[in-house]
Structure 1
Amino acid sequence: MLTSFRIKYEWEIVHMRSEVRELARTIGFDEVDQARIVQSLSELARNVIQHADEGIIEVEQIETEEKRGLRFIVRDLGPGIENLTEFMMHMKNKSIGETSGLQQVQLLMDELTIHKLEQGTSVEVTKWLKQVPLGSE
């Protein structure tokens, strides 16, 4: 894990945004992907404050043989999503004009998974660095 942020108040989101943007820049994300990452985490952090009062965001750099990126695990300390299966079906069936914040996150990031915990919910999102084709550097 690279770092973590405790989220309880709106102003903590501002601090987290600037730290995460700098981290993404350092790892090699371009400005567009930095903005996508920061927007996604802002939405997830606001969800924590709105629905659970507080939570934790963990940031880790990930690497496979083919790619590198950042993974963010957002855990709220609230009651969690009551019926996760129903929630996911509802999220999947919304039209473009009525997208939820989580749907926006799903569009901006490369991977999104949601897990119900004993207390709260965990949302895990990943953004991969773009692959640079050989010879185009």
Structure 2
Amino acid sequence: MEKSFPIKYEWDIVAIRKSVRELAREHGFSELNQARIVQSVSELASNVVHHAVEGMVQVESVQGEGKAGIRIIVQDFGPGIEDLDQIIRLSESPTSMEGYGLKQVRELMDEFSIRAVDGKGTYVSVTKWKDESDLRPSD
């Protein structure tokens, strides 16, 4: 499974959220993990709309070390994050509101990586692996 969604406007986020929730459900994630995945993609897509001109969200299934998951790659074509190291440090601070969205995404997902190229955009990759809650039969 691999799907891509262009993002340019606020209303694109609504359609992306709906599609990603459906993909996560089809992939066998629990409702709780679906919510975590959707919240993460929503935050990352909002960053594209607010800080860049446009971007792309790519969703793919992944396998690794006997586990299955979903990877979301969000890439924008904006100016990039000027001081990425500082934003990451601020996002790790319990008192700073700057970078809070990235902190939230890191906490909701199992893997997180971010790269920024000045003048060329920002690339964020997050992965959620299935856990015990995804293996329980639904009532």
For the pair 1:2 / 2:2, whether they are aligned, the reply is: yes
Amino acid at match of 2:128: K
Q: How far apart in 2 are the matches of 1:54 and 1:75? A: 9
Q: Secondary structure at the match of 1:23?
A: helix
Q: How far apart in 2 are the matches of 1:21 and 1:92? A: 27
What is the deviation of 1:117?
A: 3.0
Task: For 1:105-120, list aligned pairs within 5 A.
Answer: 105-117=105-117, 119-120=120-121
Amino acid at match of 1:92: E
For the pair 1:122 / 2:123, whether they are aligned, the reply is: yes
- Counterpart in the other structure of 2:24: 24
Over the residues paired in the alignment, what is the CA RMSD in angstroms? 2.1
Contact 1:67/1:131, CA 8 A, preserved across alignment:
no
Q: Secondary structure at the match of 2:36?
A: helix
- Counterpart in the other structure of 2:47: 47
What is the deviation of 1:89?
A: 1.6
Q: Secondary structure at the match of 1:82?
A: coil
- Counterpart in the other structure of 2:60: 60
What is the deviation of 1:131?
A: 4.2
Contact 1:6/1:57, CA 8 A, preserved across alignment:
yes
TM-score by length of 2: 0.88
Larger deviation: 54-63 or 116-125? Answer: 116-125
* Unaligned ranges ≥5, structure 1: none
List structure 1 runs of 4+ shifted beyond 2 angstroms: none
Contact 1:116/1:122, CA 8 A, preserved across alignment:
yes
TM-score by length of 1: 0.89
What is the deviation of 1:116?
A: 1.3
Q: Secondary structure at the match of 2:69?
A: strand
Contact 2:110/2:126, CA 8 A, preserved across alignment:
yes
Contact 2:91/2:103, CA 8 A, preserved across alignment:
yes
The alignment of Structure 1 onto Structure 2 pairs a total of residues equal to 134
* Unaligned ranges ≥5, structure 2: none
Q: Secondary structure at the match of 1:81?
A: coil
Q: How far apart in 2 are the matches of 1:34 and 1:14? A: 15
What is the deviation of 1:65?
A: 3.2
Contact 2:81/2:117, CA 8 A, preserved across alignment:
no
Q: Secondary structure at the match of 1:112?
A: strand
